[in-house]
Amino acid sequence: MKRIKSGGIFEDKIGYCRAVVADGWVHVSGTVAPGESISTDVAEQCAAALAVIEKALTEAGASFADAVRVTYVVPNPSDFEACWPILSQTFGDNPPAAMMISCPLIDPKYKIEIELTAYRAGL
């Protein structure tokens, strides 16, 4: 088993890592835009969170093409549509199973959190 840390501000405070690789599965924790000062634009936050996820996937030896499930959490459901073009471009011809949940996040500055599971045989 391999544990991947990203240096996110909540990893040590809460006690988790960005991703865990086990038997070909890559479990990426819920991810928000990084840093203390972030954009208020949901699409920019989405792209920033995906960049953190992509880095974790790369370190795990996987990519977005290996994604099998993704969960989007948004406090305001009407914000989600602004992210659709970014998500469609990110997953391209390899869309995962997906779900969107609406609920508050750990800090009101966050407009989207993304959790992803990928599978790549041989990891």
Model confidence band, residue 87 (pLDDT cutoffs 50, 70, 90): very high
Q: Which residue has the tokens 């203390």?
A: 36
Q: How confident is the model over 42-60, as pLDDT tens digits?
A: 999 999 999 999 999 999 9
Is the sign of the CA dihedral 113, 117, 120, 122 positive or negative? positive
Model confidence band, residue 6 (pLDDT cutoffs 50, 70, 90): confident
In order of 52, 55, 77, the CA distances from 116 in angstroms are 11, 13, 19
Which pLDDT score is estimated for 58? 97
Q: Is the pLDDT of residue 117 over 90?
A: yes
Cα–Cα dist 24/103, whole Å: 31
In order of 27, 83, 89, the CA distances from 23 in angstroms are 11, 31, 28
Q: Is the pLDDT of residue 92 over 90?
A: yes
Average pLDDT over residues 88-93: 96
